[in-house]
Amino acid sequence: MKRICSFSSVQLFSRSFRALASPRSLNYPLQSLKRSSVRMESSNFSSGVRTDTSVKPRGALIVLEGLDRSGKSTQCAKLLSFLEGLGHPTELWRFPDRETSVGQMISAYLSNKSQLDDHTIHLLFSANRWEKRSLMEEKLKTGTTLIVDRYSYSGVAFSSAKGLNIDWCKAPEIGLLAPDSVLYLDISPERAAERGGYGDERYERVEFQKKVADFYQTLRDSSWKIINAGEAMEEVEKKIQEVALDKVKECTKGKPLSLLWSS
């Protein structure tokens, strides 16, 4: 695993990613940035990704979000076996995806083995999602439901909590696929901190997590479902199953894919 990333490669990457992520290079009309989610229509989307107005059966994009140690990984794994048990083709993804070369730079940063400018690490997190974007679309369109452990909301909430401008943080996420459902595992930073292994990584500090929780609140929209993550695991599991299964059924009937994001 690469532990230290060269500054020049990060600089170079950051510059090219900024160009990639700019609304202009995505050919977005500016007004589309103002919407909370944008349907994929040929008139407003031409980032090199095929346009699609069809309503064919597809997999659901289900995202679990929450503070560090809120129980996301545990619940993602449980949901995966639940949906697979019902015969729905399902995969579990997580961001950061620490397997890619970008993901390895992120991992080194999170474990305090490297230092990066706040803007740079934000763009790396975003790039880590972009590098999976086409595969994500392909999987969904071919009927696989994706359970995703953290997504763009983590990117924006954590970087904004560091003091970066929230709109700046959202910009590189625009054009990623919008989740069909965001399940937010709600727990107080103090309770999360009592859970095993807390404090090993860079952001696992109660004061910081309180700011993150505030930004998560700002990001909530109608696709979010708030789950009390302080309850017993089985209770949390049941609630997640209900919401997820509804979404899987809805997407099986045909639901157009949407794109992130608002201003």
**Binding of ligand T5A at residue 223 (CB under 6 A)?**
no
Of the candidates 108, 88, 85, which has an alpha carbon nearest to the alpha carbon of residue 98?
Answer: 108
Q: Based on the shown chain and the rule CB under 6 A, indicate whether residue 136 belongs to the binding site for ligand T5A.
A: no
Residue 185 CB partners (closer than 8 Å, separation 6+): 64, 65, 66, 67, 70, 71, 72, 75, 227, 229, 236
Q: Which of 139, 150, 170, 247 binds ligand T5A (CB under 6 A)?
A: 150
What's the CA gap between 100 and 172, in Å, rounded?
19
Give the DSSP per-residue string, 130-185.
HTTHHHHHHHHHTT-EEEEES-HHHHHHHHHHTT--HHHHHGGGTTSBPPSEEEEE
Tell me how far, at minimum, the Cβ of 1 lies from ligand T5A, in Å: 15
Of the residues 123, 236, 248, 259, which one makes contact with ligand T5A according to CB under 6 A? 236
Q: Kindly provide the residue ranges of all beta strands, DSSP E only, lying in the chain, ordered along the sequence.
A: 38-39, 61-66, 90-94, 145-149, 181-186, 224-228, 258-259
The interface with ligand T5A within residues 157-216 (CB under 6 A) comprises 158, 195-196, 201, 203
Q: Which of 14, 32, 70, 160 binds ligand T5A (CB under 6 A)?
A: 70
**Nearest approach, Cβ of residue 105 and ligand T5A (Å):** 13
Pick the binder of ligand T5A from 15, 165, 233, 263 (CB under 6 A). Answer: 233
**Partners of 186 in beta bridges:** 228
- x/- string (CB under 6 A) for ligand T5A, residues 7-46? ----------------------------------------
Q: Which amino acid is at 120?
A: T
From candidates 58, 72, 88, 247, binder to ligand T5A by CB under 6 A: 72
Backbone angles phi, psi at 72, to 5 degrees: -60, -50
Under 8 Å between Cβ of 61 and 140: yes
Measured CA to CA, the distance from residue 128 to residue 78 in angstroms comes to: 25
Using the rule CB under 6 A, which residue among 13, 28, 62, 68 binds ligand T5A?
68
Q: Whole-angstrom Cα distance, residue 232 to residue 238? A: 10
Closer by beta carbon to ligand T5A, 47 or else 203:
203
Task: Return the half-sphere exposure (C-beta side, CA atoms, 13 A cut-off) of residue 114.
Answer: 20
Q: What is the nearest approach in angstroms of ligand T5A to the Cβ of residue 169?
A: 9
Nearest to ligand T5A of 132, 150 (CB atom): 150
Residue of 37, 73, 100, 252 interacting with ligand T5A (CB under 6 A): 73
Interface with ligand T5A includes 114 (CB under 6 A)?
A: no
* 261 touches ligand T5A by CB under 6 A: no
Give residues in contact with ligand T5A (CB under 6 A): 66, 68-74, 95-96, 110, 125, 150, 154-155, 158, 195-196, 201, 203, 229, 232-233, 236
